Amino acid sequence: MKEIKVGLIGFGTVGKGLAEVLLSQRERLVRRTGMTIRLAGIADHGTAALPERFSDIPLTQDARTLINDPDIDIIVELIGGIEPAKTFVLEAIAHGKHVITANKALLSQEGAEIFAAAAKRGVEVGFEASVGGGIPVIKALKEGLVANRILSIMGIMNGTANYILTRMTDEGMPFAEVLKDAQKLGFAEADPTYDVEGIDTAHKLAILMTMAYGMPITHHEIATEGISRIEPMDIELARELGCRIKLLAISRNHGDHVEARVHPTMVPQGHLLASINGAYNAIHFHGDTVGNVLLYGLGAGSIPTGSAVAADVVDIARNIRCHSIGRVPALSYLPEAMRPRRITPMDELCGPYYFRLTVLDQPGVLATVAGILSKYEISIESVIQKGRKKIGAVAVVIVTHSAKESAVSAALDEINRLASVTAPVVKIRILEEE
């Protein structure tokens, strides 16, 4: 029976998950592929010994032992971060090895170089686990939706941020408190910046956009705003407005230009994305032929992410056995068919907004604010005035009709300068139904 040998670099959360999955599914994979998938070596800097059940797998501290091993077919990089991951991946490719990675930071920043090197050397790069954890979203986009012009991508792509927002919503707790608890429970890392500030979500959106639209893009080009400034009051007001606040990645395809942004968003309760709670992820595509499609599942976690990495291993193993390497282009479009596209500047975007103003409880304030909005052609859909929260100050919530972001910025600059406005206006974009 054909045997495929896998070398694993990085025995952290996902690395352990992959080892567990390959062990528990060994017989099943034989029944499904007719091949044996063998974890032929694990390289990890900080691991002195492997758990008993993996004791037949050679362990090394040096990744190059695996990269240089001529018997190994596939190198799986699960150490994360840019370096030394990038060096290992490029070296593995140079050695003619197929590569699998879950490293969205690496791919969204250095993807161009990695995919070019792999194409030149004729090896595969698998990255199903880089977006949406165990959800088979990369395969769905590249193959299942191949006969679609993707018109939009929307998703909840970070489990930590969604977990925090869900608990803030369900328990009325402030951000900092939930974060601390999430860290204690292992749902958030010691440094949660990438997760809560939307950077991790932007990495993933960049990867999806590259494949959906056939365009090169890095996460640096994606306007990104996190959830750390969301207050329980905004969550409560969202509920009154029939919405839930979610950290969304949003991209719309306008043909010659494409939107790309990550920010907290008011999602109407009827929308499926409003029902995605806890550590779950969901990615929604609108395709010109398929219409709306949504994929839902655990966006992180050792074993679920291991499931996605293992699917890549099987996919590449099948290509090795069938001599069909390069059967599906790594980025869905052929390298020569990729076309750069303009990213719509945030200033040009239009949509409805939620503003929360903290104003002195004086006559005339609302009239002044309304006057400024009107000057910038921002039309008001509704106004809610809440009772006194602080001495002398009241909260006023304004929901607008669709307005241009540049006009909103200018209007809020002006409003923030008013003497009667005692704190910067909180601005949250509202999801427009397609």
- Please give the annotated binding residues for L-homoserine, written as ranges: 189
Who's near 162: CB < 8 A, 6+ residues apart? 156, 246, 247, 276, 277, 278, 279, 280, 281, 299
Site string for its own copies, 117-136 (x = CB under 8 A): -----------x-----xxx
**55 touching its own copies, by CB under 8 A:** no
Measured from the CB atom, is 305 or 358 closer to its own copies?
305
Residue type, 433: E
Per CB under 8 A, does 32 bind its own copies? yes
Q: Give the binding range for its own copies (CB under 8 A) out of 31-39, 73-81, 158-166, 420-428.
A: 31-39
- Min dist CB 333 to its own copies, Å, is 5
Site string for its own copies, 131-170 (x = CB under 8 A): ---xxx--xx--xxxxxxx---------------------
User: Which DSSP letter does residue 44 get?
Assistant: -
Alpha-carbon distances of 29 from 37, 68, 313, 341, 416, rounded to whole Å: 8, 27, 11, 41, 61
**Binding test (CB under 8 A) with its own copies, winner from 303, 408, 421, 428:** 303
Could you list the beta-strand ranges (E) of 361-402: 380-390, 393-400
The phi, psi pair for 171, rounded to 5°, reads -115, 0
Q: Which of 86, 97, 204, 246 is catalytic?
A: 204
Residue in this structure with the two tokens 């005692």, named with its chain if needed:
422
Residue of the chain from 327, 342, 375, 390 that contacts its own copies (CB under 8 A):
327
Residue 389 falls in the annotated catalytic set: no
Q: Is position 294 an interface residue for its own copies (rule: CB under 8 A)?
A: yes
Annotated binding site: 9-16, 104, 189
d(CA 119, CA 45): 29
Q: Which is nearer to its own copies, 33 or 368 (CB)?
A: 33
Out of 197, 225, 315, 405, the residue judged to bind its own copies by CB under 8 A: 315
Beta bridge partners of 355: 398, 427
Find the angle CA(136)-CA(138)-CA(139) to the nearest 5 degrees. 70
Instruction: Decide whether 263 or 284 has the Cβ nearer to its own copies.
Output: 284
Q: Which is nearer to its own copies, 324 or 379 (CB)?
A: 324
Q: How far apart are CA 359 and CA 366, in angstroms?
A: 9
Cα–Cα distance for residue pair 377/373, rounded to 1 Å: 6
Q: What is the C-alpha separation between 67 and 77, in angstroms, rounded? A: 11
CA 380 centroid distance within chain: 32
Q: Which of 117, 314, 372, 380 binds its own copies (CB under 8 A)?
A: 314
Only segment of 65-73, 295-303, 402-410, 424-432 that touches its own copies (CB under 8 A): 295-303
Q: Considering the complex, what minimum distance in angstroms separates the CB of residue 265 from its own copies?
A: 18
**Toward its own copies, which CB reaches closer, 129 or 206?**
129
Helix (H) or strand (E) holding 266: strand 261-268
Q: 237: burial class by Cβ within 10 Å (0-12, 13-18, 19+)?
A: buried
301 is a site residue for its own copies (CB under 8 A): yes
Q: In terms of Cα–Cα distance, which of 378, 397, 13, 363 is closest to 238?
A: 397
Decide: is 251 part of the binding site for its own copies (CB under 8 A).
Answer: no
- Tally Cβ neighbours within 10 Å of residue 186: 8
Instruction: List, in sequence order, every beta strand (DSSP E) within 44-146.
Output: 59-60, 74-77, 98-101, 125-126
Binding mask 260-279 for its own copies (x = CB under 8 A): ------------x--x----
Residue choice 58, 268, 329, 352 for contact with its own copies (CB under 8 A): 329
Exactly one of 61, 193, 324, 379 binds its own copies (CB under 8 A); that residue is 324
**Helices 159-171 and 175-185, interaxial angle, to 10°?**
120
171 part of the interface to its own copies, by CB under 8 A: no
| Interface residue with its own copies, options 1, 28, 255, 419 (CB under 8 A) | 28
Binding positions for NADP(+) are 9-16
Task: Give residues 360-419 in contact with its own copies (rule: CB under 8 A).
Answer: none
Among 306, 330, 343, 430, binds its own copies (CB under 8 A): 306
Q: How many residues lie near its own copies (CB under 8 A)?
A: 64
Give burial (CB, 10 Å; 0-12/13-18/19+) of 8. Answer: buried
**Contact residues for its own copies, defined by CB under 8 A:** 20-22, 24-25, 28-34, 128, 134-136, 139-140, 143-149, 214, 272, 275, 280, 287-298, 301, 303-304, 306-308, 310-311, 314-315, 318-319, 322-324, 326-329, 332-334, 337
- Catalytic residue list: 204
